[in-house]
Structure formats: structure tokens, C-alpha cells
Amino acid sequence: MSYIIYNEAGEILRTVRCSPALSKIQAKKGEFIMEGTADDSTQKIVRDKVVNKTPEEIKRENPTIPKVPKSRRLAYITNEQWQDVLDRLKRLEKDGSK
């Protein structure tokens, strides 16, 4: 069976699938359990019922990530590639000092 574990504020903390006997040990102190399924990103618990969050709540909990210009994005390179860059710089500095 499926169960929803939530807190006093109605925030869904996790969902579990287990036998009814094991469901009794799933909720910890300050948590509540009810039978059912829910999506924590779009739903919450109000008066022991699963309800949809408002668009404002969803946006507040999952803010839009600002776009980062390509020139400011992280570049993932290997240590070998980085060492190659350092070696090339060293050669340029050596050749430029003549």
C-alpha cells in the first residue's frame, strides 16, 4: 500500500510503499501518515486531505532559475586539459621573454 508522510504544516515529506503493519513505524516524531499517493511538488495536505498547491506556492517553492550567459557559465574540463593549457601558457611566456 502507498502512504504519505507529512508534517504539521501539511508539507509532504515523503511517500512510501509498505504493508499496513510497517506503516505504523514510518512516521517519526512530529510527522503524520495517511494512506494514498501525492506529488510533493504540486500538492500538500490540508485537514487530512491531499489538495493542489496554488501556482504562487509552486513558484515560491521552485523559483525560476535565472539564465546565465554562456560567457559566465562554468566550464567542465579535465585535469589533463587544464595542464595542457598551463603548459601552453608557460611556453608562450618563455617565447615572449626573448
- Give the pLDDT confidence of 60-97 residue by residue, as tens digits: 988 888 999 999 999 999 999 999 999 999 999 988 76
Give mean pLDDT, residues 14-40: 94
Q: What is the pLDDT of residue 97?
A: 67
Whether 17 is in a domain gets the answer: yes
Parent domain of 39: 2-61
Q: Classify residue 75: in a domain, yes or no.
A: no
In a domain, 11, yes or no: yes
- Report if residue 15 sits inside a domain: yes
Q: Is residue 22 part of a domain?
A: yes
Domain membership flag for residue 84: no
Q: Is 29 helix (H, G, I), strand (E, B) or coil?
A: coil
What global pTM score does this model have?
Answer: 0.64
Instruction: Write the pLDDT tens digit of every residue in 33-69.
Output: 999 999 999 999 999 999 999 999 999 988 888 999 9
Tally the domains of the chain: 1
Phi, psi of 68 (to 5 degrees): -110, 125
What per-residue confidence (pLDDT) applies to 64?
Answer: 87
Q: Smallest Cα–Cα separation from 24: which of 16, 36, 33? A: 33
73 domain-assigned: no
